[in-house]
């Protein structure tokens, strides 16, 4: 890989009271601030520059030969630069974690974190790019102009509904993968966990009636993805209740969602929709009353993924559900995007895919589920992010699917 994620200042982390960080909290020591001091990543060369001979090869005049060759055969850029192994992690800072619209500068620690996860879990180099604009067209134009330097684009923490438009327009104009992880990464890991929950309990995806709390980026993507994977019926709830065709207050995105989902014709509140439901998926926050959880079908699945407070606390969910998952690392079955995006991009980059298709995402979900298919229990329907089998399995599955779907170029 062309860049190694390192922190050259790792031996300089000190107390936050040493005057080195303006605006840091007054506590005598905060490990989060200590770890982030100076940033979490750096670029490290993969070739030596020890003397004039090395310099003449790494830079001028030797580099001119390589530049000329690429000018004559543009595809050589993949062989003689880092393009095919590096991803741009792009944000505008409008939907950062649970913090909301905090701006591009404040988003950088998260983008750096995303980059080191790419490297740690997928062997993929990534560059954080925080943009000082929230205009969808400006974001698209900026990324298009940056694209020659990258093999893929990971959109991150961009608020809905602009995230849908930005992803669509970028993929229309670029011949490299564009992937909004808040949508598709979440959907892939959710499907993998749902497949294994169904396996564990002897059920079929096609028989499951699912209710999703949240009609933002993740909720919309999960709903569409589950339907594409064969889940029987999905209803989505926003703050005003179930997204249904009879509502007149829907945005274009939600109007499209209403046409695809809710075959049962449900209306009204989330709580009413949960009566008899097989699956609850929470990507919204808030609290679901225990009585509504109790009304779900016997042996239900509860995936309450809001952080830091799940919509349904596991202690409550376990009273009624056969399988419980959250977005937190301190409970079993963590639905964590890091299980998906590093391997998905690694597989796409490996074959120089022009895009990431639905088939590639389904292949990723299937591979992820299969990692623990022989080890299933109520507390293990999804692997740990630190399971070393995950990234190779997802990478191989995505690369094979890209070839099968004709989007691979090697």
First-residue to last-residue Cα distance in the chain = 19
Q: Is 262 among the annotated ligand-binding positions?
A: no
Q: Is 333 among the annotated ligand-binding positions?
A: no
Q: Residue 288 and residue 83: Cα distance in Å, rounded?
A: 46
Q: Is 388 among the annotated ligand-binding positions?
A: no
Mapped onto helix, strand or coil, the DSSP state of residue 18 is coil
Q: Residue 206 and residue 194: Cα distance in Å, rounded?
A: 12
Mapped onto helix, strand or coil, the DSSP state of residue 387 is coil
Is residue 226 within 8 Å of 210, Cβ to Cβ? yes
Q: Residue 281 and residue 191: Cα distance in Å, rounded?
A: 11
Mapped onto helix, strand or coil, the DSSP state of residue 405 is coil
Q: Residue 168 and residue 179: Cα distance in Å, rounded?
A: 10
Query: For the chain, how many residues are written?
Result: 410
Q: Is 336 among the annotated ligand-binding positions?
A: yes
| Residue 364 CA: distances (Å) to CA of 114, 181, 276, 333, 379 | 19, 13, 30, 18, 21
Q: Is 137 among the annotated ligand-binding positions?
A: no
Q: Residue 298 and residue 37: Cα distance in Å, rounded?
A: 50
Q: Token pair for residue 383?
A: 């692997």
Of 199, 106, 88, which is closest to residue 149 (Cα–Cα)?
Answer: 88
Catalytic positions, written as ranges: 59, 114
| C-alpha R_g of the chain | 23
DSSP 380: B
* Residue numbers belonging to the annotated binding site for a divalent metal cation: 156-157, 182
* Residue numbers belonging to the annotated binding site: 156-157, 182, 307, 336
* Residue numbers belonging to the annotated binding site for (S)-malate: 307, 336
């Amino acid at each position: 890989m062309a860049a190694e994620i390192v922190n050259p200042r790792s031996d300089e982390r000190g107390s936050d009271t040493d005057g080195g960080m303006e605006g840091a909290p007054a506590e005598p020591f905060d490990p989060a601030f200590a770890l982030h001091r100076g940033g979490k990543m750096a670029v490290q060369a993969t070739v030596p520059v020890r003397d004039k001979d090395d310099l003449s090869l790494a830079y001028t005049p030797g580099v001119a030969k390589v530049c000329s060759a690429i000018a004559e055969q543009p595809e050589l850029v993949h062989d003689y630069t880092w393009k095919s192994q590096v991803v741009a992690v792009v944000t505008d800072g409008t939907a950062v974690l649970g913090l909301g619209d905090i701006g591009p500068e404040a988003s950088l620690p998260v983008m750096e974190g995303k980059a080191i996860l790419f490297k740690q879990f997928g062997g993929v180099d990534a560059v954080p790019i925080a943009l000082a604009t929230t205009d969808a067209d400006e974001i698209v134009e900026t990324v298009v102009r940056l694209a020659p330097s990258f093999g893929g684009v990971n959109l991150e923490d961009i608020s809905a509904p602009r995230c849908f438009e930005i992803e669509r327009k970028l993929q229309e104009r670029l011949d490299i993968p564009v992937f909004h992880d808040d949508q598709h990464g979440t959907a892939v890991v959710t499907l993998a966990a749902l497949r294994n929950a169904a396996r564990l309990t002897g059920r079929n995806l096609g028989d499951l009636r699912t209710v999703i709390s949240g009609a933002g980026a993740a909720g919309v993507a999960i709903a569409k993805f589950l339907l594409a994977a064969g889940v029987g019926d999905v209803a989505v709830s926003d703050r005003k209740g179930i997204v249904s065709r009879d509502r007149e207050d829907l945005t274009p995105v939600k109007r499209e969602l209403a046409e695809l989902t809710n075959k049962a014709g449900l209306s009204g509140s989330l709580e009413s929709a949960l009566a008899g439901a097989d699956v609850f998926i929470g990507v919204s926050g808030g609290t679901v009353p225990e009585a509504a959880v109790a009304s779900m079908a016997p042996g239900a699945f509860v995936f309450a993924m809001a952080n830091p407070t799940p919509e349904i606390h596991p202690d409550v969910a376990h009273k009624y559900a056969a399988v419980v998952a959250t977005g937190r690392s301190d409970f079993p079955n963590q639905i964590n995007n890091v299980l998906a995006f590093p391997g998905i991009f690694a597989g796409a980059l490996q074959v120089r895919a022009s895009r990431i298709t639905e088939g590639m995402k389904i292949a990723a979900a299937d591979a992820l589920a299969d990692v623990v298919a022989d080890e299933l229990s109520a507390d293990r329907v999804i692997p740990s992010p630190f399971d070393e089998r995950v990234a190779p399995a997802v990478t191989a599955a995505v690369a094979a699917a890209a070839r099968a779907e004709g989007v691979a170029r090697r």
